[in-house]
Structures are given as C-alpha cells and as structure tokens.
Amino acid sequence: MRKTMYYLLGIMLLGALSRCSDSPETPEKPEGRNMFGHFVPRGLIKTSEGLAPGYVMFSVPASGSTYLVDRAGMVVHEWKGTYPAFNPYIMDDGSIFVGQNDPDYPVFGFGGPYGRIQHIDWDGKILWSYELADEKQILHHDFALKPNGNILAIVYDAISYEEAMALGREPHRTPLSGPWMEKIVEIQPEGEHGGKIVWEWNLIDHLIQDSDPDKLNYGDLAMHPERIDFNHGDSVPPALTQDTLDAWRKAGQADRNLTRFNRGSDLFHFNAINYNPELEQIVISSPELSEILIIDQSTTTEEAATQQGGKSGRGGDVLYRWGNPENYRHGDSTARKLMYQHDVRWIEPGKPGAGHLTVFNNNAPNVPDSLNYTTVFELVTPLQEDGTYARGADGRYGPETPVWMYMAPDTLSFFASFISGAHRMENGNTFINAGPAGRFFEVTPEREIVWEYWNPYHGQVREPNGDPLNAMPMVYSTFRSTFIPADHPALSGKELVPIDPQPEPYVMQKPPEKKKE
C-alpha cells in the first residue's frame, strides 16, 4: 500500500512527487510527463463546435473561493467561503455546500482532513457553517448530499493501540498512537452552526481477521467477503526520532499534527462517497484497499452495526466490493483492477449509462518495469432485484472488465496519482478532472477530447501564524471539478457574464537557470 503519499503535506507531497519521478526500476520519464502541470499553458486549451452549453465549477486551491467558468474559460461567478475550500456541490437555488479546511483541528493530519462544511448562497452569504473536528474524530475527504437536505460525510474515528490489538490488528501494522478507523455519518443541519447526527455506520462493526483466533473478529476471509480485513496493508514505518521530526518541522515538511508515533494511522483512507436515493445505498472508495464498497443506508443506526436489517437484510455489512478480490481471498495480485482509485459515483437517472458506476483509477498498471498511468472506468454492477449483488462462480464480484474506459491514446500522458475524478454528462460525454495538475477536460464516448481547461488560479491563504503557504508542488491542484449544464435550476434567472476584472492568474516563477561550466 502506498502510505507515503499521504503522510505529509510535506510527506504527502513528497510521496506524490515520487510517483512521477523516475526510479532505477522504471524507464526514463517521457518528455512532458508533468503530473503537477508546472510551467505549462493554462486557461482554455481546447474548444469545439457543438459543445453542450454549460459551466465548470471548482474551488481554487489555497483559497476560500469557488469559481464558475464558462466554456470560453472566463470566470462568471464566485462564491466566497471562510477557509480553504474544496469539493463544492451546487443546489437548485444557486447556493453551494463546500468542504473547508479548518485551521485549528487537532490530532489528525496527512492528506484529507478538513473538519468543516459551509453552505453559501449565490450572493456569498454563509447560511450554515458546521465543524466536526476534535481529538476523537474529523470530517475528511468527501461528503454527499441527500434529497432530504441532509449530508452524508466520511469521518476519521481514532482508537487506541490497545483497542486495535483487542480487535485483532497485528502489532507490526499498528502505530503506537493508535489507528484512525472510518465511519459515515448523516448530518441534519440545524440553525447557523448546528448539526444533528441522525444515522451512523462504523467500519469497526464490520471487520474480520485471520491472524489470531484468540482475538475478536477472527474468521475465514474467503467465507466472509461482506467484512473488511483488519490486517490489510504494510507494516507501519519505524517511529521517528525527535531529531528527525524537529528537522522536518524546521524544513516545513511536517504536517502540523505529525508525531513520532502516528505515521501509518490512516488505515483505510476513504476518499469518496456517493449516494443512490433509489437504492438507498452508499458507495465508498478506499484507495488503501484499492476497492470500492457499497453498503445499505436504509438501515437504522442500530441495524447498521449488525448483519441484519434494511432493504437488503444485511444490516451494515458490505453488499458489494470491486477492484481487489485478493482482499477477501478470491484472487491474487493479478486479479486486481483498481490502483489507489478516487471519486466513485453512480451515473444519475437521465444520463447515458444511468445506474452504472464511474471510477477514477489513478495508478494503472502498478506493475514493475512500467510507468504508471491513469484510466477512467464505467462499471455495470451485478445488481439483483432485492438490492444485493451477485458473485460469480469464482467467488468474485463482477464485472470482469469495464463497459467503457478512457485512457490517453499514448497511455502515459494522462497520469494523476492522487485526488481527481470523473462524471458522466447529459450528452453522454465524460467530464474528467486530473487533479494534481488542475486539468479539466471533456471526452466523447469515442474518447475524443472536445474541451480542455487548465486551472490558472492559486489563492493567498496563509498559515494560522500568518506565514505564507508553500505553493509547491500542488500549485494548481484541484480535488474535484464539476460540469454544470446551462439549464440547471441553480442558474435560472442568473446573469452569467464574465466578471470584470477577471481574477488574476497565478504565474509560477521559474527557478534560475544553472550556469554552464
């Protein structure tokens, strides 16, 4: 498992950089393979006749702003939040819900915690600002909106080393500070700052391990694909020395909550969540498992902690998983389909492929002696009439292959090893966000790029003490971008003309050239 990418925003970024660097085992890096898009042309790169009318929404890195740009690449609207924003969702009234990086959350770190969600109206008024960030738990990565106005959010849940041992986690896989488990909560907004948790699912209730029969959760993984192996993953890195930690902090390479003993805490790293109201099911992405997981949300909280209840009759157990059947002992590494994937979601009703799943597969093929590249998958799941999912004769959940896939014609030029996403458009095209570079592009079912835009913006948010944030290397990186069709109810009656003046693009300063000897 590739933990290093998420150990630091120093460590996370260094890990991310290492993925796009050469190593002794890989071929020479092709010219122009620039995962972060440094020093490349930005703004509108390509357009075509006959495009579906609409706009693109994205949050500006290191900024509280979320922009709406038109097909000409011009900013036509801005929502302003309080903290660094990412992953906005637009509502029918033109307001947005957006995750925001709370400046003072404790304990948690590395890539993904943010701690706060804000609801901002079209004119910039903050309607709701909700924080879930303390020493025990924190909102991280992604959330989803339900038709009832509630929010499904991914939350880290810290447990102690001793608790992990009792649950059957192996000592060499467990940081001394204790691991971060995962849970999903449904938040009912209340007032300007309140939120009531009305439903909860905890991964800790659905574990299995085959290492120690004297510990909890012992069982045969091959017989229980509905449960998650608590002993997946690598050994944790050695504890840092205090001198090393001090040196990393001095160099600005240590996340503010990095300690000597908490590397390897992020066991499952859920990074995406999506809700299907017709099925009343939730799909989750776990890149550490290299799997997507579906669970039943028609349960009560009490049923979600068991193996019974809900429409499926399975309680909170996993209904479907895909990407890495080795995790439940029904294949080896050659059966693996996903490699550190992001942004799984159902294709909405009315769009071509409705009911299928799209997944951004960050790191294919992930084999020795090969440079990795990125693919986007469309999957047809083996959904049955009762809302459960069939397994094949080999014990695996299908499909064997995606029904549709996008990768670059040259394979290697489309590479985004982390964040990123993709979703289906009303016209059947697929909108793709190569996150590290802030590159947004639209491809046809025949895989032709018909529109392309590279985010040219970077904000000026500073550290809590006033120090400027180091922009490198994620200068233009964008967690998620979304195509908003022109006939979306949110845009009805809105004046959508380029704002004047346009925001100032961020221009990277090239390092001085080395003098030739």
Q: Which pLDDT does position 6 carry in this prediction?
A: 35
Q: Which pLDDT does position 273 carry in this prediction?
A: 98
Phi, psi for 261 (deg, rounded to 5): -120, 5
Which of 156, 160, 175, 144 lies closest to 345, judged by CA? 144
- Nearest-angstrom CA–CA distance, 148 and 181: 27
Which of 321, 474, 478, 301 lies closest to 399, judged by CA? 321
- Nearest-angstrom CA–CA distance, 135 and 106: 6
Q: Which CA distances in Å does 301 have to 72, 199, 310, 315, 318?
A: 47, 5, 10, 9, 15
The two structure tokens encoding residue 204: 């800790």
DSSP labels, 28-74: PPPTT--TT-TTS--EEEE--TTPPPEEEEEEPTTSSEEEEE-TTS-
CB count within 10 Å of CB 335 equals 14
Phi, psi for 490 (deg, rounded to 5): -60, -25
Q: Which CA distances in Å does 332 have to 36, 57, 329, 335, 337?
A: 33, 40, 8, 6, 11
The two structure tokens encoding residue 8: 């630091």
Q: Which pLDDT does position 512 carry in this prediction?
A: 73
Per residue in 117-138, is it b (16+ CB within 10 Å) or e — as a string?
Answer: bbbbebeeeeebbbbbbeeebb
Q: Which pLDDT does position 7 carry in this prediction?
A: 34
Peptide bond into 365 cis (omega under 30): yes
Residues 6+ apart with CB under 8 A from 304: 199, 200, 201, 202, 205, 295, 296, 310, 315, 316
| Sheet strand arrangement including 320-322 | 272-276, 281-286, 291-296, 320-322
- Nearest-angstrom CA–CA distance, 309 and 254: 44
**Tokens 């000592």 label which residue?**
171
Phi, psi for 82 (deg, rounded to 5): -90, -35
Which of 373, 465, 437 lies closest to 411, judged by CA? 373
480-509 pLDDT, tens digit per residue, is: 999 999 999 999 999 999 999 999 999 998
Domains of the chain: 3-491 (2.120.10.30)
Which of 162, 92, 145, 101 lies closest to 121, judged by CA? 92
- Strands 115-120, 320-322: parallel, antiparallel or unpaired by DSSP? unpaired
- Strands 357-364, 342-346: parallel, antiparallel or unpaired by DSSP? antiparallel
Q: Which pLDDT does position 468 carry in this prediction?
A: 75
Beta partners for 276?
A: 281
Residues 6+ apart with CB under 8 A from 63: 84, 85, 457, 458, 459, 460, 461
Q: Which pLDDT does position 13 carry in this prediction?
A: 38
DSSP labels, 230-298: TT-SPPPPPPPPHHHHHHHHHTT-S-TT--SS-TT-BSS---EEEEETTTTEEEEEETTTTEEEEEE-S
Query: For the chain, first and last CA: distance in Å?
Result: 43
Q: Which pLDDT does position 30 carry in this prediction?
A: 55
* Host H or E run for residue 130: strand 126-131
| Burial (CB count within 10 angstroms: exposed 0-12, middle 13-18, buried 19+), residue 385 | exposed
- Nearest-angstrom CA–CA distance, 428 and 476: 28
Per residue in 424-434, is it b (16+ CB within 10 Å) or e — as a string?
Answer: bbebebbbbbb
Residues 369, 346: contact at Cβ < 8 Å?
no
Record the pTM: 0.93
Residues 374, 434: contact at Cβ < 8 Å?
yes
Q: What is the mean pLDDT of each run of 10 residues along the chain (517 residues)?
A: 37 35 38 83 97 98 97 98 95 98 89 94 97 97 98 98 98 97 98 98 98 98 98 94 93 86 96 98 98 98 98 98 98 95 98 98 84 96 97 97 96 94 98 98 98 97 76 93 98 97 93 68
- Nearest-angstrom CA–CA distance, 445 and 312: 34
